[in-house]
């Protein structure tokens, strides 16, 4: 992709992310996050990660964010009152956060690595065939364990969230 | 043309914003959402590296991260619901029983 | 007169006697039996077991004695029981040796001890702590036997400490009265000062002996004594340190102060421990170490001087005391002084002879006083006695025998032993002979005074007490009679013309009977006899012929009378110079150092830790976001390190 497209995408993503953090209303925060995730999926497409992009939309925005919204609605959360963390805390947080971003960002700016980013990708890169080819051979064990993890998560979520029977 | 570095820089910025959100916001659900943001920043970084090294392993890892994030979100939200049922609040500042 | 021969290596024939360990074992078993079963099985069992154990020791001792005599002059019986301390060049074993000196001591300890045990079965009959009493008494006998049978200095010291402990236990026997407990403490603590001297002497001795294995047995030290340098400062120092130990145990100046207070214990205890046995331990020890003392004439002079001065010092105080036991206590201190005098002038055999005769008549006198106290229902003040001879005839007659014996009237035992010492003193230090003679005068006087005030004249007790005065039961009077017989006849083995005892003991002291002028000795005997008669006569004059004389003297010479009555203020002096400063120092150390210093430091550390953690625990705010921040800050630091460095 060219720089213009990337820049546009990047700016939008960052703007929406900031919106997630700064919005008073949790529903609006959630919607900003949906937007961020969607735009990230677009970014994935540009990076030749087609399966991942689709999964991002279907799983992340389609399932996880819906779950978030369900819970927000369930708890009937209102617009948050403006109690903030105390100032010293915010100052420290700000320092840490911007230090982090600054250091790493700066490092990235001056870094000069040679990689194969600009070269064209092999055929079938990023398709489901390519993913599954790796997934069911090299990463088989993590795959199985992850399915077990999902089972545990399902059972756990039900157990934790349900009301106690009288 | 754009290079890996630019994408990684974006990932770093997203991560930072997510971290700031975790530490600043008082609403537990919003904190959760910021955590998801951080996870996605990591995903972006993995995909960028996969592209740069022409290796599918990066995308497979993203696959796993997403799965785990889903599981984590489910359980975490269940906990928040239970929490709200008991304490009537989801303000992190008030959930401080473990203090000295 | 005996004088030391040239020092040769021990020529004694050493014979094995594997039964010697039984002699101390019997009383130990008796003690353990009384401890474990005494209360359960009751008085009937204890009164058989306790004296029985001592009797068994006595019989075993007799058998050993007979074997020793049969083995001829210079023989020693040895029983090596087991290896004890084997550490480098120190190779000490638990071993018992039975030579004429220790054999004699064993017979005295077990013989007189047996009589006193029998006496105690009646005297202590009404006491609740019957079993406890006999446990201690048997334990004491065990320790004393260890002391006299021990083949080496460390084992002797074990017995030494043991008798000190039992003395404390028995003096403070009726501990519910704090005064009795204090008396026990005083005895133990004053003894400890002496023990420190003993130990220092022992260490100095060990240090100055050569390299190579040392078993610290008396034979081996005697063999090496020549290496120590006769007449040197080292030998004198060692001897003086041991002398300090002896003054503690045998109640001489400066450590005699515990003995008068020790009268707080039951009277049979006073008879056994503070007349016949424990207090003779110091004399035994010096006699045992004679091979060391002959190397240091200065030390011997000190021994003699301490003995002589103590003899008249204590006799003077005993002159005016009103408690029957206190008079006898000071008399004991004084007589022990005579024994030291004997040791100091080289008459070791004479000193041991006096130990024996003194054991007989002093035990007799103490047991007699016990009989009096028993009959008088607990009264001990002689001003409230009098005329007891018609109420308690056996006690009276035996007490009379004891008085005559101690005064030194021939042919009773006290005369021969005391005279032998005085004769030896005359030939060495005439001044000390004169001092000893003056002491004999005082002894005769105060003992006669005691006899007269207790048994003669009108009874000064109140009617209630007079009604109840009775003679004591046979268990008490029979030992009195036995001891009286011994007090009369005991001296006949040591007469100047047929000194059986002296010859018997001679190999131990490497001495032989020197030639002495028979006429000089006879003359001095007459002088001693005359002095004794004078003393008794003066007492008779002062208390029977002119009864008001002493009261007038007391009024006219208060500067003489009052200090003597107040024991010449020695206790008060020690309190002032030693006890009070020590107590004050301890108190200061406690309050200043222990409470403020040590406790303060310990509490201070705790306080510092507490305040420190009070600051740090604020980190546990309970706020998840704070924790997240600290995590993130750490991550930033690590990132910075890796990126920038």
Query: Closest Cα of chain A to B72: distance in Å?
Result: 7
Q: What is the pLDDT of residue A1?
A: 65
A89:C629 CB<8 A:
yes
> Where do we find the tokens 């969607």?
A38
What is the rounded distance in angstroms from the CA atom of residue C456 to the CA atom of residue C548? 16
Q: Does A58 touch chain B (CB under 8 A)?
A: no
Comparing alpha-carbon positions, the chain B residue that sits nearest to C635 is B19
Query: Closest Cα of chain C to B97: distance in Å?
Result: 6
- The closest alpha carbon to B73, from A156, A28, A143, belongs to A156
Residue among A85, A92, A103 whose CB faces C639 most closely: A103
Q: What is the pLDDT of residue C448?
A: 93
Q: Does B61 touch chain C (CB under 8 A)?
A: no
Examine the pLDDT at A86 and tell me if it is beyond 50.
Answer: yes
- Structure tokens that stand for A12 in this block: 């939008």
**Residue A118's pLDDT band (boundaries 50, 70, 90)?**
confident
How many residues does the structure list for chain A?
166
What is the rounded distance in angstroms from the CA atom of residue C456 to the CA atom of residue C259? 28
Q: Does C640 touch chain B (CB under 8 A)?
A: no
List the Cα angle A22/A24/A28 in 5-degree steps.
85
DSSP for C196-227, please give it.
HHHHHHHHHHHHHS-SS-B--BHHHHHHHGGG
Q: Which residues of B touch A130 (CB under 8 A)?
A: 56, 59
Query: Closest Cα of chain C to B93: distance in Å?
Result: 6
- Structure tokens that stand for C141 in this block: 């006998």
Comparing alpha-carbon positions, the chain A residue that sits nearest to B9 is A105
Q: How many CB atoms lie within 10 A of CB C521?
A: 18
Query: Closest Cα of chain B to A166: distance in Å?
Result: 15
B23:C622 CB<8 A:
no
Q: What is the pLDDT of residue C5?
A: 44
DSSP three-state, residue C570: helix
Examine the pLDDT at A42 and tell me if it is beyond 90.
Answer: yes
C623:B96 CB<8 A:
yes
Scan residues 86-125 of A and list those with Cβ closer than 8 Å to C. Answer: 89, 92-93, 96-97, 99-100, 103-104, 107
A-B CB pairs within 8 A amount to 230
What is the rounded distance in angstroms from the CA atom of residue C270 to the CA atom of residue C273? 6
Is the backbone of residue C309 left (phi > 0), alpha (psi -120 to 50) or beta? alpha
Q: Which residues of C touch B97 (CB under 8 A)?
A: 622
Q: What is the pLDDT of residue A166?
A: 61
Q: How many CB atoms lie within 10 A of CB A64?
A: 22
What is the rounded distance in angstroms from the CA atom of residue C157 to the CA atom of residue C154? 5
Average pLDDT of chain B?
A: 90
Flag whether A89 is in a domain: no
Q: What is the pLDDT of residue C472?
A: 85
Scan residues 578-637 of C and list those with Cβ closer than 8 Å to B. Answer: 617-618, 620-625, 628-629, 632
**pTM (2 d.p.):** 0.71
Residue among C620, C624, C632 whose CB faces B100 most closely: C620
Q: Which residues of B touch C617 (CB under 8 A)?
A: 100
* Strands C13-16 and C2-4, bridge-based pairing: unpaired
A77:B64 CB<8 A:
no
Q: What is the pLDDT of residue C461?
A: 77
Q: What range does the domain containing A146 cover?
A: 3-80+123-161
Q: Does A72 touch chain B (CB under 8 A)?
A: yes
C628:B98 CB<8 A:
no
Chains touching chain C through at least 3 C-beta pairs below 8 angstroms are: A, B
- The closest alpha carbon to C68, from C55, C54, C81, C78, belongs to C78
Q: CB of C366 within 8 A of CB of C280?
A: no
Q: CB of C66 within 8 A of CB of C44?
A: no
For helices C233-249 and C281-288, angle between their N-to-C axes, nearest 10 degrees: 160
B23:C628 CB<8 A:
yes
Distances (CA, A) of C328 to A134, B51, C376, C497, C507: 113, 117, 18, 32, 34
User: Which residues of chain C fall below pLDDT 70?
Assistant: 1-12, 511-516
Average pLDDT of chain C?
A: 88
pLDDT digits (tens, 9 = 90+) for B11-51: 999 999 999 999 988 888 999 999 999 999 999 999 999 99
Q: Which residues of C touch B95 (CB under 8 A)?
A: 622, 624
Q: What is the CATH number of the domain that holds A29?
A: 1.20.120.1200
Q: Does A140 touch chain C (CB under 8 A)?
A: no
Could you state, in order of their start, the residue ranges of all structural domains in chain B?
Answer: 4-94
Rg over CA atoms, chain A: 21
Flag whether A103 is in a domain: no
What is the rounded distance in angstroms from the CA atom of residue C357 to the CA atom of residue C349? 12
Scan residues 111-150 of A and list those with Cβ closer than 8 Å to B. Answer: 111, 113, 115-119, 121-122, 125-126, 130-131, 133-135, 138-139, 142-143, 146, 149-150
Residue among B23, B93, B98 whose CB faces C629 most closely: B23
Query: Closest Cα of chain A to B63: distance in Å?
Result: 7
A-C CB pairs within 8 A amount to 26
> Where do we find the tokens 């310990």?
C602
Scan residues 601-640 of C and list those with Cβ closer than 8 Å to A. Answer: 625-626, 629, 632-633, 635-636, 639-640
C629:A92 CB<8 A:
yes
Q: What is the pLDDT of residue C214?
A: 84
Comparing alpha-carbon positions, the chain C residue that sits nearest to A100 is C636
Q: Does B34 touch chain A (CB under 8 A)?
A: yes
Q: Which residues of B touch A3 (CB under 8 A)?
A: 1-2
ipTM score here? 0.92
C636:A89 CB<8 A:
no
Residue among B23, B97, B100 whose CB faces C618 most closely: B100
Query: Closest Cα of chain B to C627: distance in Å?
Result: 9
B99:C625 CB<8 A:
no
A67:B74 CB<8 A:
yes
Q: What is the pLDDT of residue C11?
A: 52
Scan residues 49-88 of B and list those with Cβ closer than 8 Å to A. Answer: 50-54, 56-57, 59-60, 62-64, 66-75, 77-82, 84-85
- Structure tokens that stand for C5 in this block: 């021969």
- Fold topology of B4-94: Helix Hairpins (1.10.287)
- Structure tokens that stand for A83 in this block: 């109690």
Q: CB of C76 within 8 A of CB of C99?
A: yes
B-C CB pairs within 8 A amount to 29
**Exposed/middle/buried for residue C492 (C-beta within 10 Å: 0-12, 13-18, 19+):** middle
Comparing alpha-carbon positions, the chain A residue that sits nearest to C626 is A89
Chains touching chain A through at least 3 C-beta pairs below 8 angstroms are: B, C
Q: What is the pLDDT of residue C133?
A: 93
Q: Which residues of B touch C625 (CB under 8 A)?
A: 22-24, 92
Residue among B19, B24, B98 whose CB faces C622 most closely: B98
């Amino acid at each position: 992709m060219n720089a213009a497209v990337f820049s546009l995408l990047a700016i939008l993503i960052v703007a929406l992310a900031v919106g997630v953090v700064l919005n008073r209303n949790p529903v609006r925060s959630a919607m900003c996050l949906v937007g961020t995730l969607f735009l990230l999926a677009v970014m994935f497409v540009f990076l030749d990660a087609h399966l991942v992009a689709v999964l991002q939309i279907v799983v992340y925005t389609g399932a996880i964010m819906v779950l978030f919204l369900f819970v927000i609605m369930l708890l009937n959360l209102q617009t948050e009152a403006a109690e903030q963390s105390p100032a010293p805390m915010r100052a420290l947080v700000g320092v840490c956060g911007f230090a982090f971003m600054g250091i790493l960002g700066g490092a990235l700016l001056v870094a000069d690595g040679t990689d194969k980013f600009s070269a064209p990708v092999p055929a079938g890169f990023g398709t489901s065939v390519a993913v599954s080819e790796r997934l069911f051979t090299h990463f088989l064990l993590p795959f199985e364990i992850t399915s077990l993890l999902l089972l545990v998560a399902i059972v756990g979520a039900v157990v934790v969230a349900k009301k106690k029977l009288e | 043309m754009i290079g890996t570095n630019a994408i990684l820089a974006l990932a770093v910025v997203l991560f930072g914003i997510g971290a700031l959100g975790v530490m600043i916001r008082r609403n537990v659900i919003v904190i959760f959402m910021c955590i998801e943001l951080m996870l996605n920043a990591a995903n972006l970084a993995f995909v960028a590296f996969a592209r740069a090294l022409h290796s599918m392993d990066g995308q497979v890892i993203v696959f796993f991260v997403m799965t785990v994030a889903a599981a984590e979100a489910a359980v975490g939200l269940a906990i928040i619901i239970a929490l709200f049922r008991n304490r009537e609040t989801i303000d992190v500042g008030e959930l401080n029983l473990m203090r000295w | 007169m005996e004088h030391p021969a040239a020092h040769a290596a021990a020529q004694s024939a050493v014979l094995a006697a594997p039964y010697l360990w039984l002699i101390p074992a019997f009383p130990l078993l008796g003690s353990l039996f009384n401890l474990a079963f005494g209360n359960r099985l009751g008085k009937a069992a204890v009164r058989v077991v306790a004296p029985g154990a001592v009797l068994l020791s006595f019989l075993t001792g007799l058998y050993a004695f007979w074997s020793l005599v049969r083995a001829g002059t210079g023989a020693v019986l040895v029983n090596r029981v087991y290896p004890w301390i084997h550490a480098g060049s120190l190779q000490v074993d638990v071993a018992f040796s039975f030579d004429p000196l220790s054999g004699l001591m064993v017979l005295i300890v077990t013989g007189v001890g047996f009589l006193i045990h029998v006496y105690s079965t009646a005297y202590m009959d009404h006491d609740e702590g019957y079993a406890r009493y006999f446990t201690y008494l048997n334990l004491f006998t065990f320790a004393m036997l260890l002391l006299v049978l021990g083949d080496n200095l460390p084992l002797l010291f074990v017995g030494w400490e043991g008798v000190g402990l039992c003395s404390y236990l028995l003096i403070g026997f009726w501990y519910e009265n704090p005064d009795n407990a204090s008396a026990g403490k005083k005895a133990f603590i004053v003894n400890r000062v002496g023990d420190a001297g003993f130990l220092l002497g022992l260490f100095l001795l060990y240090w100055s002996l050569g390299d190579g294995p040392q078993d610290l047995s008396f034979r081996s030290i005697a063999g090496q004594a020549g290496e120590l340098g006769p007449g040197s400062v080292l030998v004198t120092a060692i001897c003086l340190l041991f002398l300090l130990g002896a003054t503690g145990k045998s109640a001489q100046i400066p450590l005699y102060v515990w003995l008068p207070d020790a009268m707080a214990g039951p009277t049979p205890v006073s008879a056994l421990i503070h007349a016949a046995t424990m207090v003779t331990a110091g004399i035994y020890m010096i006699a045992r170490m004679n091979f060391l003392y002959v190397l240091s004439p200065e030390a011997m002079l000190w021994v003699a001087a301490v003995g002589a001065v103590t003899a008249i010092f204590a006799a003077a105080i005993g002159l005016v005391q009103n408690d029957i036991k206190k008079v006898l206590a000071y008399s004991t201190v004084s007589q022990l002084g005579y024994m030291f005098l004997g040791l100091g002038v080289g008459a070791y055999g004479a000193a041991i002879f006096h130990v024996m005769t003194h054991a007989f008549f002093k035990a007799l006198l103490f047991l007699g006083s016990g009989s009096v106290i028993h009959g008088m229902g607990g009264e001990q003040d002689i001003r409230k006695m009098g005329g007891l001879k018609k109420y308690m005839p056996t006690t009276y007659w035996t007490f009379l025998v004891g008085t005559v014996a101690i005064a030194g009237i021939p042919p009773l035992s006290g005369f021969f032993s005391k005279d032998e010492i005085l004769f030896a003193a005359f030939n060495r230090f005439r001044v000390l002979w004169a001092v000893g003679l003056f002491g004999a005068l005082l002894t005769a006087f105060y003992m006669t005074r005691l006899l007269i005030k207790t048994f003669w004249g009108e009874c000064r007790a109140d009617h209630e007490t007079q009604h109840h005065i009775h003679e004591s039961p046979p268990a008490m009077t029979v030992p009195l009679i036995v001891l009286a017989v011994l007090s009369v006849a005991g001296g006949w083995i040591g007469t100047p013309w047929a000194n059986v005892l002296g010859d018997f003991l001679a190999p131990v002291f490497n001495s032989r009977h020197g030639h002495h002028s028979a006429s000089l000795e006879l003359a001095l005997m007459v002088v001693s006899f005359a002095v004794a008669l004078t003393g008794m006569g003066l007492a008779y004059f002062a208390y029977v012929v002119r009864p008001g004389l002493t009261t007038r003297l007391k009024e006219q010479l208060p500067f003489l009378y009052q200090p003597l009555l107040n024991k010449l203020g020695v206790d008060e002096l020690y309190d002032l110079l030693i006890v009070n400063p020590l107590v004050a120092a301890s108190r200061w150390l406690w309050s200043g150092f222990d409470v403020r210093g040590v406790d303060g430091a310990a509490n201070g550390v705790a306080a510092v830790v507490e305040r420190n953690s009070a600051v740090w625990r604020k980190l546990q705010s309970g706020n998840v976001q704070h924790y997240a921040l600290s995590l993130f800050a750490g991550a930033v630091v690590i990132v910075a390190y890796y990126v920038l460095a």
